[in-house]
Amino acid sequence: MQKSSFFNSINGDRKYNASDYAAYFGSFIGNGVYPNPGNNLAVTASGGMNISVAAGKAWINGYYYENTGTFNMSIDPADGVLKRIDRIVLRLDHLNRQIALSVLKGTPASTPTASLLTRTSDIYELGIADILINNGDTGVNQAHITDLRFNATLCGTVSGVVEQIDTTGLFAQYDSAFNDWFKQAQNTLSGDVAGNILNQINTHKSESIYQLAGGTATAITLTIRETLENGVPINFIASANNSGADTTINGKPLYKPNATIAPTLTAGRAYTVWYNLTSSCFFIKASATGTTTSGKVLAGETYSTEVDTDQVGTITNNGAVTITPSLVEQVIAEGYHNGGGKVEAIKLIAGDILIGDNSNTGSTTSTAYTKVREITTSLLGGTIRVKFNLSSGSSSGSITAYGRIYVNGVAVGIERTVNGLTPITFTEDISIYVGDKIQIYTKSSNSSYGSNVSGFKLYIATVSCSNTL
């Protein structure tokens, strides 16, 4: 379809909408704020949880906006635990036929991000500024306001045939920034130039040396000569064990990488941490982690955890061993195979092989879970199968018997229920360690009737052998 505009109307045959004019202006005036003066629609903190937006002009998709004076806005109170980033936007709203400033409140998080801009046929937003609200903040911090006006993706500046950038003001800003830097360089290089440069080198060198931590094991104090900017690294030697307890460095939390858990520090060991500006904390440089122990690693093999490095396993290596299904019952009965290795896991086979039996009937009339039978696993660890029969002490369907598998006094199985005298057999597979106590706990819905258990037995659920003793 061909379109053209604008022409005089004859008897009302030429009518134009606001969208026609917006399309016309949008063809040569880009989206964004006016760069002249430099504080056009700039966002500043104005005390408490309040901000001010300076006077200024902007264009969005051919529609014009002007803020004729300082516009004040309120920011919602900070969260007590988590941080968030609120985004100040200029919103073109076709449904309400206006362009207006608004606050996109961020989602609280330990590492927050700003809300995405809406850009649809009905709503189109430009990002003016992002504001970091730390947990517990009682006021907006000017240092936590990020100016987005000159970000071409989020906002941008108006330039084109109507009005060009005022290069006088722009380069005045560049000159001011350069002069500030040059004054600092002059101070550094004045007088004994070689001596001052050496001092700068020595200062930088001192930041790379691992200093001995001061303070306490959990409230560390360090000498930090640099400004705490995002990513600044700091090296130190721990002077005490913190045993994994919550720890701070110069009052700011120390965490494992991308977590809110303190690392375990060992006295005499060197550590590197880096500062995270958004979360206002230190993260320890990624290192070894884990919770295994020497008794779970083959002798002569080394491993590392966050507690220490170069630890050595102690399990004797007896070489590879083969086991066949015909030897399974003997292996379980004796606990060892012909190579001397201990059975640690079981592989699924046809049928059940009994490895523990406490079939005597047990009962309780308690309405709270009570242990009625127990089997200690002295030879086998891994996955086992538990079977038991459960019945109520009454033929009435209104009396319920409850049964549940426990390990070392802790419930691990599914709660089973039965109404009536006829026993029901329940089967369940659970994971255990050698020496665990496998128990059956029962209770009754009525203390006048018993909850009865019989046939409490353990079977192999899985079978294979390790090559270790």
Which of 167-171, 221-225, 273-277 holds the top average pLDDT?
A: 273-277
> 319: pLDDT confidence band, cut at 50, 70 and 90?
low
Residue 102: pLDDT over 60? yes
Average pLDDT over residues 128-137: 94
What's the confidence (pLDDT) of residue 469?
35
Which carries the bigger pLDDT value, residue 175 or residue 386? 386
What's the confidence (pLDDT) of residue 254?
94
Percentage with pLDDT > 70 across the chain? 77
What's the confidence (pLDDT) of residue 158?
85
Ramachandran area for residue 367 (φ above 0: left; ψ -120 to 50: alpha; else beta): alpha
Record the tokens describing residue 356, joined without a space. Answer: 């523990």
Residue 210: pLDDT over 90? no
What's the confidence (pLDDT) of residue 462?
56
> 162: pLDDT confidence band, cut at 50, 70 and 90?
very low
Residue 250 one-letter amino acid: N
Residue 459: pLDDT over 90? no
What's the confidence (pLDDT) of residue 192?
61
Per-residue HEC secondary structure of the chain comes to CCCCCCCCCCCCCCCCCHHHHHHHHHCCECCEECCCCCCCCCEEECCCCEEEECCEEEEECCEEEEECCCEEEECCCCCCCCEEEEEEEEEEECCCCEEEEEEECCCCECCCCCCCCCECCCEEEEEEEEEEECCCCCCCCHHHEEECCCCCCCCCECCECCCCCCHHHHHHHHHHHHHHHHHHHHHHHCCCHHHHHHHHHHHHHHHHCCEECEECCCEEECCCCCCCCCCCEEEEECCCCCCCCCEEECCEEEECCCCCCCCCCCCCCEEEEEEECCCCEEEECCCCCCCCCHHHCEECCEECCCCCCCEEECECECCCCCCCHHHHHHHHHHCECCCCCECCEECCCCCCCEEEEECCCEEECCCCCEEEEEEECCCCCEEEEEEEEEEECCCCCCCEEEEEEEECCEECCCCEEEECCCCEEEEEEEEECCCCEEEEEEEECCCCCCEEEEEEEEEECCEECCCEC
Span 331-380, pLDDT tens digits: 444 444 444 444 444 443 435 678 888 989 999 999 999 999 999 987 66
Domains present along the chain, CATH in parentheses: 16-190 (2.60.520), 207-284 (no CATH), 329-464 (2.60.120.1310)
* Residue 349 and residue 359 in contact, taking contact as beta carbons nearer than 8 Å: no
What's the confidence (pLDDT) of residue 300?
81
Average pLDDT over residues 117-137: 94
Average pLDDT over residues 13-24: 75
What's the confidence (pLDDT) of residue 344?
45
What's the confidence (pLDDT) of residue 384?
85
Q: What is the mean pLDDT of the chain?
A: 82
Ramachandran area for residue 36 (φ above 0: left; ψ -120 to 50: alpha; else beta): beta
Which carries the bigger pLDDT value, residue 197 or residue 87? 87
Average pLDDT over residues 163-173: 52
